[in-house]
Amino acid sequence: MSEAKSLLNSFFDALVSAVYPRKCPVCRRVSGAIPCARCGQSLVRENFRFELPLPLVDEVRAFYSYEASAAELVKALKYRRETSLVRFMSNEMHDLFLAWDPEIDTIVPVPIHRSRLSWRGFNQASSLCERLPSHLVGQDLVRIRRTMPQVKLTPEERSANLVGAFRCPSDIVGKRVLLVDDVFTTGATANECAKALKEAGASWVGVLVFAVRRR
């Protein structure tokens, strides 16, 4: 980019910020940084790592507990479509991925149904893969039916709600798969995805999420 063009872009950004001051999507304070310094500092990396009694998911990793600011970030992205958070959150996913360094063949964002995609305009799980190795990110899972939002259901209803919701059309026999999502609470979504992946031959399914519900 030429210097003049870059100066013009900076001027335009400054003008937009002056007319529409950017607000932290978590606390709504005017802030240059997204999230603001105060919300950023309230996020504490806890390095969750567990193998669960879930039969199909092999391992789960997350930096954050799904509470306080971390939960607010997840909700702001997913329900309020605050895509300005993608840069920060995908950087965190990248750091976690590097810290874990799992041996994997493919990365699969948890898909959302096309009707929800057209309403939201983006898939938050795919957005969180933005800084992961792009040559590994595939679309090996498809959501073949629409389901109720999990957040409105009890743990028992969550599992039933998702039965048969995903399908893996790819050849992944013997492959190690990293599933990516924003949050892991009961594990029902990850487990149902892992079921489809393992039925298609995956040998291992790990889960990388921004936040987990504390156990």
Residue 70 lies near Zn ion (rule: CB under 5 A):
no
Residue 26 as a binder of Zn ion (CB under 5 A): the answer is yes
Query: Considering beta carbons, is residue 37 or 144 the nearer one to Zn ion?
Result: 37
Q: How far is the CB of 208 from Zn ion (least distance, A)?
A: 25
24 binds Zn ion (CB under 5 A): yes
205 closest CA partner among 125, 103, 133, 134: 103
- Contact, 165 vs 193, CB < 8 A? no
In sequence order, the 6+-apart residues with CB closer than 8 A to the CB of 180 are 93, 107, 108, 109, 110, 125, 128, 129, 132, 207, 208, 209
Rounded-to-10 torsion of CA 108, 121, 33, 43: -50
Q: Which two tokens stand for residue 202?
A: 């995956």
**Shorter beta-carbon distance to Zn ion: residue 27 or 117:** 27
Q: How many residues line the site for Zn ion (CB under 5 A)? A: 6
Please compute, for residue 132, the number of CA atoms within 13 A of its CA located in the half-sphere on the CB side. 31
Contact yes or no for 81/124 (Cβ under 8 A): no
Contact between 36 and Zn ion by CB under 5 A: the answer reads: yes
Q: Please, what is the minimum distance in Å from the beta carbon of residue 24 to Zn ion?
A: 3
Q: How far is the CB of 10 from Zn ion (least distance, A)?
A: 24
Which listed residue (22, 23, 27, 122) binds Zn ion by CB under 5 A? 27
User: Residue 62, interface with Zn ion (CB under 5 A)?
Assistant: no
Q: Does 77 bind Zn ion (CB under 5 A)?
A: no
Residues forming the site for Zn ion (CB under 5 A): 24, 26-27, 35-36, 39
